[in-house]
Structure 1
Amino acid sequence: MLSHITFCVFILCFYTAHYGLRTGFELEKGLNDQQLRNTDVGNCDYVDLPCTCVNRSLGAVMNCSGLELTSVPKDLPRNTAYLLLKNNSFTKITSDSFIGLKELIHLDLSYNNISSFAEGALSHLKNLTFLDITMNEFLQFKYLRNVTYGFYKTSINTLKASFLHSPKHFPSTTVVKEDLQNLWNTTLEKLYLDGNQIQLLQRNVLSSLPKTLKFLSVKGNDLGNLRIQDLTIFGILALGSLTCIDISFQCNDYKLLKQEYLINSNARQHKHNLGSTLVFDNDSEVCHAPDISLENFNLNLTQIIARHAGLSQCISKWNFGKLHLEYIDVSQNNLMKWIGPLSIGSSQSLTHVDLSDNNCHYIGPAFFRNITSIETLDLHGNMLGATLNYKSESKFEKLINLYRVNLSLNGLDFIGDNVFKTQYKLQILNISGNNLKALNISISHMPMLRNIDLSYNQIADLPTHIMHQLDQNADRFQGNVSVFLMKNPIQCTCKQLEFWKWMYSSKVVVYLSENETCKHENDSTIYMRMFRNPGVMKQYSDMCRSHVILYVSIGLVTWLLMLILVVILYAKRWELRYRWYIYRLRRKGYTPLDGSRYDYEFDAFVSYAEKDADFVKTKMITKLETEYGCHLCLHERDFRVGEKIASNIISAIHNSNKTIVVLSPEYLNSNWCKYELHMANEEEHHQDRKVVVLLVLEQVKKRDLPAEVLEHYRTNTYIELPEHEDNMDTFWDALRESIS
């Protein structure tokens, strides 16, 4: 829980321009043994020892490491300035162990078995600036006061007193002021107290340290319950020169910690699994972790590092007050939701944020809203695929100063185009190790972009707009633009021809897995590196050119055939509809008629517009049905209820001897009327008999008549409604005769 900042790792670093605190020599990290062996020893004052001797301008360097010595060699050269005694078998240091070595500057006693250290044994070494007694686990931390007794007489700058307290032999440690008081009046700048089983700190114990102290490391102890506000209780505010305090690995097993310390105390292990199943909370904005505020820290704090700290759940509101923070690292935790917001007052000095390896699946819209100064953002090793897929407000909209972003190993299969819409200054983008099949983002607003890492994705090529913008950037940076595409299923089909041409003609440097192969259109394989050969590229281009001709030819032929098919289908559309409904009628039990008028259910089917219904119902029915005994089919009277209209029309035409078409301007404006006319014509063609009887109710200009009606006009097979009432009897007789 972040309520107590229960740190397995919590490092507060206050960086200054002189963070690399020089002691005047490179020996703080130990001399290079190979260099010692390769150096002529003839210039040393005294060499009758098993040690390696190197003479330097400021004194001799005696390397007596790894010789299984049980005591400090006697008669060492008096001008010895650097004495390396690590990895031997010392068990004690006496008051006379270093008598006569007044020029000693650098002393390394690490990795021995020292259990006894005489009080003040080093107090006479006034030039001593560096002491390392790390990995003497039988000494016990409480005897550190013996080691440092009289240190005010020395020039001590760096003291490494780590792993002095084995948990197998001694209980946990409580650090009191007396343990550190011998350091108060010294010039000490760096103090390492790692792995000493420190569990408790006396109130204001840090005030016993010298005001010159710039770096304090207490990694690998048992301070797991340390709360961030406790640092003020222990007197951290008294250390005015302090630039970095390292309280790392407070929750680690001692054996594992030693191994980590021996190999690489900063080793980072990626624990992200791209194949893991993502499980999300229903309410993404819920965060049960309490807020954190550093308003009372009146220090020149510029770095906060909480790496591998065991922090879990989520990030709530983090307020860093008036601190001039430049760097935040809370990577390798289990902070699965970032709600925020992060706040840093008005200084806007924060430039680097590392939230990698946190298994995060959700970023709140307000998380980065109050900070615009971030330049480097490392989010690799999370699960941000879902939160960056949403077509919502960009999570990074306020981060307008970003120039480096790492989104690798996040399970991304798509990145929304709006994710980087405000990153005009972006220079380096790493989205490797995801599941991207294409790069969909726009980079036209990123003139400074010069490095894209797309390796270990599923990308086959780059879109044209990406290649074009990268070319423009390469011209701007004189070719210093690169794209990493290793371990992608890059294809070399004709579809990717322009992509391959671009790769080997552009100023942009493209990195590929050249020992891998890709497939041609003909399924042949070729090593990607072969495309650097102009002959291979020409062969590839020629092959694709012939394919283009073939594809164009096939396309044209296909298009022509499709056009012919469309024309035929259009010309036969009414016949096809007719045959389709005939087929359906037969499936329902319809039996084709033999053509005799006595086989039909109706004498005529009347096709008319709704406006002409009065003529049909009051005059035609009266005459033909009442007086002449004909049986007519009218759609509103005789169509089957529940049947489709088109099906009823076909059935009526089939079951009628004739179809009377009552022609008028309204008839030609009705789609259903025209449909009935077309189906009646198809019936004529299909049954090879006269079906349509054209009754011209109102004259229509011939230019407005469709071809089907004009055909009836040309063959004179139509009946006109007479203008005079005297001719009506003749009209009805002719109509009755035409449907008989």
Structure 2
Amino acid sequence: MKIGVKILPLIICLAESNYFICGPDGVCLCDNYNRMDCSNTYFSIREICEFIGNIAKYNVSVLHLERNGYKSIEYFDLQGCDKLHELFLGDNNISSIGKDSFINFDRLKLIDMSNNTLAIYDETVQHTFKFPLSIKILMLNGNLNVNISGQTAYPDLSYLTHLEVLNMDGLRNKVFPVTYRKIKKLHTVTLSGLNGNCNISHLTNVSLQNLPHVRTLNLSACNIENIHAGAFKNLPDLEILDLSQNLNLGFRMLRNISYSLQFTKIKILNVSKVHSTFGMGTRLRKRDLCYLWNTTLTEILLNSNRIQLIETNALIMIPESLNILQVEDNKFTFGPYLLQLGCMSNLEEFYGNFQNTAHNPILYEKEPTGNVNELINGYSDCPFMQNSFLQNISTLKEYCPFFENDKIDTKKDWPKFPKKLRRVEFAQCDMQYSLTSFPIFPLPVYMEYMDFSGNILHSWIGPIGPFPNLKYLNLSRNYCSHVGLQFFDLIGSVENLQLQENFLGLVLSDENKGPFIFIKMVNVKCLNLSSNIISYLPPSIFSTMSKLETLDLSVNNIETWTIDVNTLNNLVHLNLKFNFFQTLPAVLRNKLESNSERLGKQFTIDLRNNTFTVSCNGKEYLKWMVKHAHNMLHFKDYIFHDKTGAALSVEQFVKEVRHLDNECRSYTLIIVFCSIGISVFLAIVVGGFLYRNRWKLRYLMRLTKVKHFGYTKLHNGLNEPEHFMYDAFISYANEDLRFILDKIIPKLEEHEMKLCIHDRDFLPGNNIADNILEAIRKSRKTVVILSKEFLKSKWCLYEFNMARMESIYSREGDNCLLVVMFENVPTGNMSTEMLQWIQSNTYIEYTTEEEGNLLFWENLKDALSE
């Protein structure tokens, strides 16, 4: 009995997936999709099939038996497995299969016999077994016996009339037998040397003629050196052709390949790595691409071919049907062909990553040292490469110039891009440039995705574009340290902006530049600023990004959250790992919660490798963190310390935070109550003092202001300070102005008294309070016309109190305040200060009686003449 072989994998799988233990002795794995995996168990096929046949509850339809060391299969071994749909027996040592082993397998659709030692390609061996007639997918690759010498042939599978997919080894200079024409449903044939053995060498016009129904043909890594011009002509339904990793093929064979593809329905052509990795740089010529013009290709793969140049006018022959072009891992340099990119008028996707890549030199000895086919004469009888034809096509294609004799006018021949291009990838290409202003023509209205990561685009000045519909932009890993204020102005439609692993910290922290860099990026939903040496960000740096959902500020040097989140109404995902945060402000926490509730999305925060200490200072944040532990990504990996600095596990941290209220309550209450008590006492004392001396303080403040900041006091030409400009300053309510104009001014000024009337004599433009204080100080007396309206005016009361203060503090005891009781005023309406003054000083009552009126004016003149 074999036990314990899969115990560890079982534990891992069970912990991480929906698999459960099954099979004999519980060494296999099953899932809810009726799949059983008994690979690497070394249990016999018979034991496993008996288990499946006896335990009907599993209803197994897919069985994996790879890598079990099986050497043969007999009829009795498979009893119980006859209800299977798929059977995988690859990577064993099976050399024989008993007759009628699959006789009862009427449901089997797939059988994998790859990488065994079946002699299925040996003509001298008589095979007694047959695969089930129901088979649709058959994998026989990796069974080619290297000891067979000259007696190889493709097996007769004509009885498998339902066969659709066939994986086999590719035999050198062998033709598929005519019997394969009977397999009319066979649409995919793989002879690749990547997952088996393939050594075809030469493809002639008859090698594949008996596969007329094939739509997908994989001949990768088959050591092909030569392909005849009619090799694929007899495959009219061919749509996908993979000739990659045939290092001896070279580009000169493209002429023959493309010639026969004219007669197919070809959609995808893969000729990646057909040039030696360490050979000289190569050039795509017109003769190589000539017949492509007459094909229906939608995608071409030319990766890993050390392409340096494309012959001028060659791109004119790219078929209009082409949508996708892959030219990764080459070494393109500048040439006129760059001005003809617009000739690919319907190109939608361009992949040019990994240009100028350095390859592992250990691979050199495993590759051919040169490409013989590169030396073939450049002459071609292809009619599509004639200048007259190319010139005519260029005129029919918009933005597709024709250059005769490589003559270029740099003033008018500006780079033009495929007008339907929507995706461009040019990552990790070792481009070292500063991105200055670069106009794009024609307007790239379809462009949605651009990836220029992993280059050395060290300065982004811009603006670039416009790209009115660009959604994804990746400029990460570019060593950039400078961003111009206009760089993003023409790409405001971007929703996913990847800027990680640059040096943007300094420019973003600049208060004069940082807030304006992203001001036009109003549609961004995902922003990645990870690894940018950021220590500070201005509050308004993301103020226009109201649609921002995911913000990544990980792996920086940020200690405090300074960003204003008031406009970030969609922010729900925040990555702050590997920073120096100890707390997050309440405004950010509240914003995340409100956004989450409103949008119906769970907010997430990643704070790994930030340190959190259990203390009363950060109690509210720590409690919030524990409450929302399910929102904290990888919460168990956070760093927690107690007050002494000792490390805490997540369980210990949660426990201590829950006890913080009791621990911090006493100190908090004492501090709060003491602070409140002291504050109230001081407020009462200070308030009482200020209220009691309020007019004195206001007077002294005004006096100080006038002294230090006011105008120089006028002395009417005299130097003595006791001389005044006015005999009296008349203080009155505006409602009593008629009395002042009709009585006071005429009666007093006829006796040559000079009066100060605020409607007439106040200096325009000065502060009212300053004018009042100057009038009182420049007048020998201040006459208050006391009335009910006077008591309602704040400025009248101000004039009274300022005159009272002047009498007390500035006239050496001389009373300069004279009150005229213009009408009977209830004492209850008077302020305390006014009532005290009336009670302790003589005032004059105004009356309209004839005798009393004469006495009033005499008393008033006498009082003002003192």
Could you tell me which residue of structure 2 aligns to residue 86 of structure 1? 192
**1:105-254 aligned within 5 A:** 105-166=215-276, 171-226=280-335, 230-233=337-340, 236-254=341-359
Distance 1:445 1:528, change over 3 A: same
**1:260-275 aligned within 5 A:** none
Q: CA deviation at 1:458?
A: 1.0
CA distance, structure 2, for counterparts of residue 292 and residue 377 of structure 1 = 34
Q: CA deviation at 1:512?
A: 4.3
CA distance, structure 2, for counterparts of residue 522 and residue 512 of structure 1 = 25
CA distance, structure 2, for counterparts of residue 48 and residue 341 of structure 1 = 55
CA distance, structure 2, for counterparts of residue 245 and residue 258 of structure 1 = 28
Could you tell me which residue of structure 2 aligns to residue 61 of structure 1? 165
Residues 368-416 of structure 1, C-alpha deviations (whole Å, 9 max, x = no match): 2344322222111111111111111421112222222111100111111
Amino acid at match of 1:238: C
Aligned-residue sequence identity (percent) comes to: 26
RMSD: 4.0
Asked if 1:423 corresponds to 2:530, the answer is: no
Q: CA deviation at 1:179?
A: 1.4
Higher relative contact order (CA 8 A, sep 6+): 1
CA distance, structure 1, for counterparts of residue 637 and residue 320 of structure 2 = 59
CA distance, structure 2, for counterparts of residue 55 and residue 36 of structure 1 = 20
Q: TM-score by structure 1 length? A: 0.59
Q: CA deviation at 1:434?
A: 0.6
Preserved CA contact (<8 Å) 1:475 1:507: no
Amino acid at match of 1:156: I
CA distance, structure 2, for counterparts of residue 471 and residue 189 of structure 1 = 48
Among residues 572, 579, 582, which one is paired with 1:460 in the alignment? 582
Could you tell me which residue of structure 1 aligns to residue 525 of structure 2? 403
Residues 321-363 of structure 1, C-alpha deviations (whole Å, 9 max, x = no match): 422133333221222222222241xx72233222211111121
Could you tell me which residue of structure 2 aligns to residue 472 of structure 1? 594
The worse-fitting range, judged by mean Cα deviation, of 423-432 and 349-358 is 349-358
Amino acid at match of 2:324: F
**What SS class does the counterpart of residue 199 from structure 1 fall into?**
strand
Preserved CA contact (<8 Å) 1:54 1:61: no
**What SS class does the counterpart of residue 465 from structure 1 fall into?**
helix
Could you tell me which residue of structure 2 aligns to residue 323 of structure 1? 444
Distance 1:415 1:109, change over 3 A: same
**What SS class does the counterpart of residue 231 from structure 1 fall into?**
helix
**What SS class does the counterpart of residue 380 from structure 1 fall into?**
coil
Q: CA deviation at 1:255?
A: 4.4
Residues 566-597 of structure 1, C-alpha deviations (whole Å, 9 max, x = no match): xxxxxxxxxxxxxxxxxxxxxxxxxxxxxxxx
Distance 1:50 1:172, change over 3 A: closer
CA distance, structure 1, for counterparts of residue 510 and residue 308 of structure 2 = 46
CA distance, structure 1, for counterparts of residue 303 and residue 258 of structure 2 = 17
Among residues 434, 449, 454, which one is paired with 1:314 in the alignment? 434
Distance 1:531 1:306, change over 3 A: same
Among residues 463, 482, 491, which one is paired with 1:362 in the alignment? 482
Could you tell me which residue of structure 2 aligns to residue 18 of structure 1? none
Preserved CA contact (<8 Å) 2:436 2:462: yes
Q: CA deviation at 1:56?
A: 10
Residues 641-671 of structure 1, C-alpha deviations (whole Å, 9 max, x = no match): xxxxxxxxxxxxxxxxxxxxxxxxxxxxxxx
Amino acid at match of 2:608: M
Q: CA deviation at 1:306?
A: 3.0
Q: CA deviation at 1:191?
A: 1.0
CA distance, structure 2, for counterparts of residue 97 and residue 215 of structure 1 = 29
Amino acid at match of 2:356: C
Q: CA deviation at 1:132?
A: 0.7
CA distance, structure 2, for counterparts of residue 472 and residue 167 of structure 1 = 56
**1:279-358 aligned within 5 A:** 296-297=416-417, 299-321=419-441, 322-324=443-445, 325-344=447-466, 348-358=468-478
CA distance, structure 1, for counterparts of residue 640 and residue 136 of structure 2 = 67
CA distance, structure 2, for counterparts of residue 257 and residue 351 of structure 1 = 41
Q: CA deviation at 1:207?
A: 2.3
Amino acid at match of 2:476: S
The worse-fitting range, judged by mean Cα deviation, of 250-259 and 371-380 is 250-259
Distance 1:184 1:442, change over 3 A: same
CA distance, structure 2, for counterparts of residue 508 and residue 167 of structure 1 = 50
CA distance, structure 1, for counterparts of residue 142 and residue 210 of structure 2 = 18
Q: CA deviation at 1:432?
A: 0.7
> What is the count of residue pairs matched by the alignment?
493
Distance 1:293 1:367, change over 3 A: farther
Amino acid at match of 1:349: N
Distance 1:115 1:255, change over 3 A: farther
CA distance, structure 2, for counterparts of residue 361 and residue 383 of structure 1 = 5
CA distance, structure 2, for counterparts of residue 435 and residue 460 of structure 1 = 12
CA distance, structure 1, for counterparts of residue 224 and residue 599 of structure 2 = 59
Could you tell me which residue of structure 2 aligns to residue 605 of structure 1? none
Distance 1:131 1:192, change over 3 A: same
Amino acid at match of 1:103: H
Among residues 624, 635, 644, which one is paired with 1:502 in the alignment? 624
Could you tell me which residue of structure 2 aligns to residue 566 of structure 1? none
The worse-fitting range, judged by mean Cα deviation, of 32-41 and 349-358 is 32-41
Preserved CA contact (<8 Å) 1:291 1:317: no
Amino acid at match of 2:334: N
Preserved CA contact (<8 Å) 1:373 1:401: yes
CA distance, structure 2, for counterparts of residue 154 and residue 401 of structure 1 = 45
Amino acid at match of 2:426: A
Q: CA deviation at 1:209?
A: 2.7
Amino acid at match of 1:409: S
Could you tell me which residue of structure 2 aligns to residue 37 of structure 1? 88
Preserved CA contact (<8 Å) 1:487 1:512: no
Could you tell me which residue of structure 1 aligns to residue 103 of structure 2? none
CA distance, structure 2, for counterparts of residue 434 and residue 44 of structure 1 = 57
Could you tell me which residue of structure 1 aligns to residue 9 of structure 2? none
Preserved CA contact (<8 Å) 1:356 1:381: yes
Q: CA deviation at 1:501?
A: 1.8
Q: CA deviation at 1:528?
A: 2.1
**What SS class does the counterpart of residue 610 from structure 2 fall into?**
coil
Could you tell me which residue of structure 1 aligns to residue 571 of structure 2? 449
CA distance, structure 2, for counterparts of residue 365 and residue 518 of structure 1 = 41
**What SS class does the counterpart of residue 388 from structure 1 fall into?**
helix
CA distance, structure 2, for counterparts of residue 434 and residue 291 of structure 1 = 46
Could you tell me which residue of structure 2 aligns to residue 619 of structure 1? none
Distance 1:511 1:544, change over 3 A: farther
Residues 485-525 of structure 1, C-alpha deviations (whole Å, 9 max, x = no match): 12211222222221122124359822244145512225454
**1:433-448 aligned within 5 A:** 433-448=555-570
Unaligned runs of 5+ in 1: 1-31, 263-289, 564-699, 702-740
CA distance, structure 1, for counterparts of residue 316 and residue 552 of structure 2 = 45
The worse-fitting range, judged by mean Cα deviation, of 128-137 and 477-486 is 477-486
Distance 1:348 1:94, change over 3 A: closer
**1:485-564 aligned within 5 A:** 485-506=607-628, 509-530=631-652, 537-546=657-666, 548=668
CA distance, structure 1, for counterparts of residue 326 and residue 175 of structure 2 = 31
Q: CA deviation at 1:74?
A: 4.9
Distance 1:392 1:318, change over 3 A: same
CA distance, structure 2, for counterparts of residue 200 and residue 540 of structure 1 = 70
CA distance, structure 2, for counterparts of residue 520 and residue 380 of structure 1 = 34
